[in-house]
Amino acid sequence: MRVITFKVDEDLLQELDLYAINSKSSRSEIIREALIRYLKDRK
């Protein structure tokens, strides 16, 4: 897999981190799944 970098505001990052802790997932897993769902919905 490739590594990408992007900017996100602090509030969204805190929400992501809290979700990651609660779901026992990594940031990368959550972002990857969200991106897959977003792209599928856009088709």
In this prediction, residue 43 has a pLDDT band, given cuts at 50, 70 and 90, of confident
Q: Are 41 and 27 in contact (CB under 8 A)?
A: no
The predicted model scores a pTM of 0.85
In this structure, how many other beta carbons lie within 10 angstroms of the beta carbon of residue 34? 11
Count of structural domains within the chain = 1
Q: Is 29 domain-assigned?
A: yes
Domain of 14 in residue numbering reads as 10-42
Q: ∠ CA 17-3-30 to the nearest 5 degrees?
A: 30
* pLDDT score for 41: 97
Mean per-residue pLDDT, 8-13:
98
Instruction: Confirm whether 2 is domain-assigned.
Output: no
The answer to whether residue 21 is domain-embedded is yes
